[in-house]
Every structure is written in structure tokens, then in C-alpha cells.
Structure 1
Amino acid sequence: MSTPDRPFASYHLWSLVAPARGQEHWHCQMRRGFIKARQHEPEVKALLAKATPPQHIGILAQKGVYEFHHHLHWLTQSDGVEKVAQLLNLSNFTIKVKQRVLQILQKYQKSPLLLGKRIIQLTSGDEGFPKPIVIEQANYCFRLYAAMDCVFIESDSTLHILDFKTGKSAFDKRQALVYLLAARYLYPGKLAVASFYNLEICQKSELITINNNELASLESELANIAYKHQLDLQKYQAKSSNFSKIFPPNPGHHCHFCPFNSICEFSHLQFDKSLSMPITKNRS
């Protein structure tokens, strides 16, 4: 848990505080509470440690790209996909995960997006938290976390930040904006663009750019998010019994897909159980 005097921001936190456009109905602040305020509790920690099949696929796909570019000859070898699959230990995963990751590897070998690029950063996806960027202005100071999948230099010297995706989820432009803000500090003076690439359907997003005025506005917005979240953490630390007031729930059908539905008293699943239990007892 963050200390009271060191607020932080990231795209992940931004997405937990405010929903993407069109997803307001499914957004639940209590999920942020479980992930960011109660993450050290044994039950919550155990649930957070369980990766879902889509998460496994995303991590393995990115690691597959990483391995291809650390063994470039595998991109042209007939057994290249098999060699990467062995490094990923795909045999340890479910058939569904294995099949989808193999398809991703086959597509990437056929059309390697990064081949020939001047790559200056390519992560395997399991490096953990990146080093924070300390952003300090006259009226705020916070730590920014931005874990970039890939950074390369275009032929015109433009810095290109690329984020890999899998599945069917829409690209969230806010993630790219956070990367562009981070690039301002990590690569000062460099002109930067950002984009997404879905490894599963081989779809590129448009190039995303931001000007200096927009960067300043974004930085201020992230500072507000950092301080709001830090205040919520302090309120919870002061009185944990107010958890549901500090991180209000938004129960509904979407609770069925929430990783915390087994321990959340407001979950639709819990609500269904509470209705069915008395009926069973009356019948018996």
C-alpha cells in the first residue's frame, strides 16, 4: 500500500478511478478498493494471484514476441514457433490458452511487426513494476508508473511507443496518453507517438499524438487522480469499516465477471445466494 505522502498515478489506476467511455454502467469503485486498499489481505491476495485465461494469453503473447526478437533466426525457421512455445512452457496451460497463443505466434512469425525496427526497449511482460517517474510541479508532486511494452525509433527519428493487445477489448486511448507523458520525462526533447497493435487479429490502431498544452492538462488530471486515490487510502486506513462508503459498489450482472465476487457482500452472486438459502431452509 502506498505511503500517505507519496501519491502515485498510472493508466491502471486511472482506469479503476474512471471508466472508459461507454463502460460507465459496468464500472465499480469497490474493485479499486480490493485491488489498491485491501490487496495484502490473504483472501484478496489469493484472488489477485489467479490469472484468468485472457491474462495468461496476453502475457504469453507478449513474451512470445520478446523471445522471437531475442532469437531472430526463429522468425524464419520452420520450427521457430515450436521453439518459442517450448520456452513459454505452453504445455503447462489449458488447451484453449495453448491454441490461442500458438495462433498468435504463427501470425507473428508470418508477419513480424517489429522486424527491421530500431528497438530501444522490448519487455517480456513479467518484469514487474517499472521504476517510477517523479513528476514535480509548483502545486503537485506524484509518482507516475508507465510499463511500456515496446519503444522503437522510426526512420524520421520519431519515438514510437507500441502497446500489444490480445482479445476483443477496444483500445483505450488514455493508456497511450500516459505513455506519451512518461516519454516526455524519459526521452526529453524527443518527438513521440504511440499506438496499439492487437497480436491476435493483427490490427493496428491509429497513431496517437499529444501537444504540449494537452500534456500539461493530462499531467494535472493524473495529479488529481493520484491525490484523490491517496485520500481514499488514508480514509480507509483511518476507518476500514467505511470501506463500502469510500469505495462504493455498483452491483449488477457484471458482478459475475468480477474476480472478487466470492468475497464481496454486494456482489450479484452473493445476493442470489442470500435469496436462495432461506428458500432451501423453508423447504427442508
Structure 2
Amino acid sequence: MRQNWLPFASYNLWLQYSPPIGKEHLHCDMKRGFTKARSKEPAVAAILVSDSIPQRIGLLAQRGVYEFHQNSPMLHQQDAVEKIVEILELRKESDLVQQRVLQILTNYQQNPILAEKKIIQLSRGDEDFPEPILIKQGNQSFNFYAAIDCIFAEEDNTLHILDFKTGHSDFDRRQGYIYLLAASYWYPNQKAVVSFYNLENGNWSEPISATSNILQAFQIELALIAQRHQEDLRRYRKNSADFSKIFPQNPGVSCRYCSFNSICEFTISEAST
């Protein structure tokens, strides 16, 4: 029996709608249009299957942490980093990616923050989309997606959700609350906190917790985002010529780093800035 398609929401979609505070000048809603509305076009699809350098570093870093904990004694072996380099086929990557990931692996072996933790879930980083959580908010239903890097249990059985970062990625508290919302469905009536850890500089945020009222507020916001995004897609399918009106561009310095700058008519080149 075919299931009815439902609108969806996730932290990633929210981020494409609304950037973190202080990053507004770098935000461009047209990226959401390419990613969500035009993803099947050959030129767009070709870009989407290719990871950017930051994405590649993040994926390989996550996989490296995963491999360390698939065989815990490896954490204490002198050649552990070399073994994981082979597993990741790191030498096939660009020089920059190799250097950054190698340093991350070295750092993690020196400070394996999960070594003594009771790990409940640890992602490889390259899994398919997780099963959605069906949420009913008022008279609306939507699928909620939350891909979590790691969950471990504290000594008092509090669930600790850990999100790994690399590079200069900021810690966005919205992401933490969204993960706590997911945990409230996966592990109802169980206390949970969330934190962020940067695998390159070793910065670990303070744990974030949330009341049921806060989680309800975030659920309402996700329902609104799911509804708005579905309406945008409907408008685009009805009249694709309105693409730039539905998904407005924000040309500027961010064009330099945008994956879609080779196909976007609004791209501003460095020479013209």
C-alpha cells in the first residue's frame, strides 16, 4: 500500500531557511532552491553528489572516530592512525583533506573522548537518511529527520547526544534543541542533554538541556518550516519561471564558496567584487 507523501523538516532545512545569528550576510535562499527544488536536473545533481572540502573532511573525521571504536584496543596501538588512514583510503584525497584528517585522527588518538563512555549509538557518517519521526502538530503531520553523530550514557544514565564539528563550524544551539526533540521521541521519559565537540581544536561546549515547553516551541517552528517549504515547492512546480522569486538570491562574498556558483546566473565573481 502506497503511503501518502508528507512535508518534512530537519535542522538542515531550518538552516537553509534561517542562518545562525551573525551569518545573515552569507545566507542565500537560492541554495535551498537548487538543493530541494531542482535536485534532479543533471547539472544540479552532478554538484550535489560531490562533497565540498569541508564536507569531505567532516565525513572522514566522523568515519575515523567510528573506526577507532570498532576495535577499542586500536586506540592504544602505535600504528592505529596509519591503519585508519588505510581504511579511509585517505591517500586518494586531496592534500588539504589528507593533512586535516590526519591531524584529526592524531588528535583523537591522543584524546579519545569516548574511550570510557558507554556508547549507545555512533554513526559512521556515510549512512543513508535515518528513519523519519512522524510528528503531528495541530492538524498537520510531517516527517522529522535527525541524523545524530553519537549518543552515550552518563553514569546517572542521562543520555548525552554529541555532535562532532570540524574547522571553524560554530555551535548552533538550535541544532542542539532539535536533537533533544528527536531524543524525546526515541527515548521518551529519559533525561537527555546535548553538546558539541570540535575534533580539530578540542573545544567542547557546555551541555544543553531543554524543558518540555522549549521542545514544544521547536516542534511548532519545525511544523511551520515544513509547511512553508512545501508551499515553496508547490509554487515552483506550478511556475518554474518564478524560481528566483520563490528562492531569492543574495549575491556577494558567499558566492565565492557556494557549490552552485558555476550554474547560478546571479553569481558574483571575485574579479567583480
What TM-score bracket applies, with the shorter chain setting the length? over 0.9
Aligned partner of 1:220: which letter?
I
Deviation at 1:51, TM superposition (A): 1.1
1:67 aligns with 2:83: no
Aligned partner of 1:107: which letter?
N
- The superposition leaves residues 4-63 of structure 1 with CA deviations (integer Å, 9 ceiling, x where unpaired) of 951100000000011110111111111110011101110001111121221111111110
Q: CA RMSD in A?
A: 1.7
Task: Work out the CA distance in 1 between the residues paired with 2:270 and 2:44.
Answer: 16
Residue in structure 2 matched with residue 102 of structure 1 by the alignment: 102
Q: How many residues align?
A: 271
8 Å contact from structure 1 (residues 4, 230) kept in 2: no
Task: Work out the CA distance in 2 between the residues paired with 1:138 and 1:260.
Answer: 37
Matches within 5 A, 1:204-283: 204-269=204-269, 272=272
Task: Work out the CA distance in 2 between the residues paired with 1:121 and 1:14.
Answer: 24
- The superposition leaves residues 245-274 of structure 1 with CA deviations (integer Å, 9 ceiling, x where unpaired) of 10011111211111111111111139959x
Gaps of 5+ in 2: none
Deviation at 1:140, TM superposition (A): 2.0
8 Å contact from structure 2 (residues 256, 270) kept in 1: no
Residue in structure 2 matched with residue 37 of structure 1 by the alignment: 37
Runs (4+) of structure 1 moved beyond 3 Å? 270-273
8 Å contact from structure 1 (residues 136, 142) kept in 2: yes
TM-score, normalised on structure 1? 0.92
1:175 aligns with 2:179: no
Aligned partner of 2:85: which letter?
A
Residue in structure 1 matched with residue 156 of structure 2 by the alignment: 156
TM-score, normalised on structure 2? 0.96
Report the CA distance shift for 1:270/1:102 in structure 2 as closer, same or farther (over 3 A): closer
Residue in structure 2 matched with residue 203 of structure 1 by the alignment: 203
8 Å contact from structure 2 (residues 29, 249) kept in 1: yes
Work out which of the two has the higher radius of gyration on C-alpha atoms and give 1 or 2.
1
Gaps of 5+ in 1: 274-284
Task: Work out the CA distance in 1 between the residues paired with 2:205 and 2:39.
Answer: 33
8 Å contact from structure 2 (residues 137, 223) kept in 1: no
Residue in structure 2 matched with residue 279 of structure 1 by the alignment: none
Aligned partner of 1:242: which letter?
D
Deviation at 1:95, TM superposition (A): 1.6
Report the CA distance shift for 1:235/1:270 in structure 2 as closer, same or farther (over 3 A): farther
